[in-house]
Chain A
C-alpha cells in the first residue's frame, strides 16, 4: 500500500503534537502552581 507512509505520518504528527502540547500545558501549570498561593488558583 503506497499510501501507508502518508497516513501513518498524518496520525503520528497529529497525535504526537497534541500529546506534546498537552504535556507542555501540564508541566507549565505545575511550575506556576508551585510559585503561587491558593488565592491565585480560583478553581480550587
Chain B
C-alpha cells in the first residue's frame, strides 16, 4: 500500500488543494495505531465472550462488565482531557485553537462512550437487578453527567467565531468536569444499589480469576487505544473543518478562476 502522506508533494498553494495532497486525515502513526487497536478489540471480544470464565455469583452476565467498565473508564478519561485541554486553551500562554479542538474531539468521544456505558449498564442491570433502570445515586448521576456533556457539545455548536466557541465551551468544560467526583463518590455519599469500587480498592480483598483480571485490563487498554486513535483523527478533522470555514470561499473563488483561465486558453476543450 502506498503511503500517500509520505509521497505527497510538499508544495502547497493558498489557492486550493494541490493535486498530490493526501486525501485523508491519517498518518503512518495513526494507521499503525488503528491496526493495533483493531487487534486489541478483537482480542477483547474473544476473551470477553469465550476464554474468560463465568463468575461464581453473577454467572455469564459478568461478561457485560468488561464493556461497562472499559467504556466508563474512557468516558471519564475523555472528560478529564476535555477539561485539561480547555484550561490550556484559556491559559494566556497556550491559547491555541488546537487545545479547543482536542477538547471538542475528546468530549464527543466521551459522550459516545458514556452512552455505551449506560446501555451496557442497563442490560447488566436487567440481568442482575431485574430492571433496566433504577433511580439509584450512581446511575442517575451518570445519566446527568451524560446530559451535561451533550449540552457541552450543543454549546460548541452555537454561532460566533472560533475563539468565542473556544472560550465559551472551555468554561462549560471546566464546570462540567466537577461532576465526575460526584458520580464516582455517589455510592459512598448516598445509599446505592450500585457496587462500590472493588478491584481497585485494596481494602475489599476482592480476588479475581487470573483470566478475568486479564480480560478486564485488556478492555481498559483496548478502549484507551480506541480513544487515542479517535481523538487524534477527530481533532484533525475539526482543524480542517475550521480551515474550510475560514478560507472555503477563497478556495472556491480561486478554483473558479482556474477554471475560467483554463477555458480561455487557446485550444481548450469543454
Q: Which residues of A contact B (CB under 8 A)?
A: 1, 3-4, 6-11, 13-15, 17-18, 21-22, 25-26, 28-30, 32-44
Contact = CB atoms under 8 A, between A and B. Distances in A.
Contacts of B48: 11
B25 A32 contact: yes
24 contacts: A4-B60, A6-B123, A7-B60, A7-B63, A10-B120, A11-B48, A14-B67, A15-B41, A15-B45, A17-B112, A22-B230, A30-B24, A32-B241, A35-B17, A36-B244, A36-B251, A37-B15, A37-B251, A40-B239, A41-B25, A41-B239, A41-B240, A43-B25, A44-B22
B116 A13 contact: yes
Given A15-B41, A18-B41, A32-B240, A37 B233 contact: no
A3 to B, nearest CB: 5
**B-side interface size class:** 35 or more
B16 interface: yes
B18 A29 contact: no
Contacts of A32: 25, 237, 240-241, 244
Pairs A-B, 8 closest by C-beta atoms: A29-B25, A32-B240, A40-B243, A38-B12, A39-B12, A37-B12, A3-B60, A6-B123
B21 A41 contact: yes
Question: Main secondary structure on chain A at its contact with chain B?
Answer: helix
Nearest to A40: B243
A14 B226 CA distance: 12
A34 B23 contact: yes
B130 interface: no
Contacts of A34: 17, 21, 23
A7 B24 contact: no
A4 B237 CA distance: 38
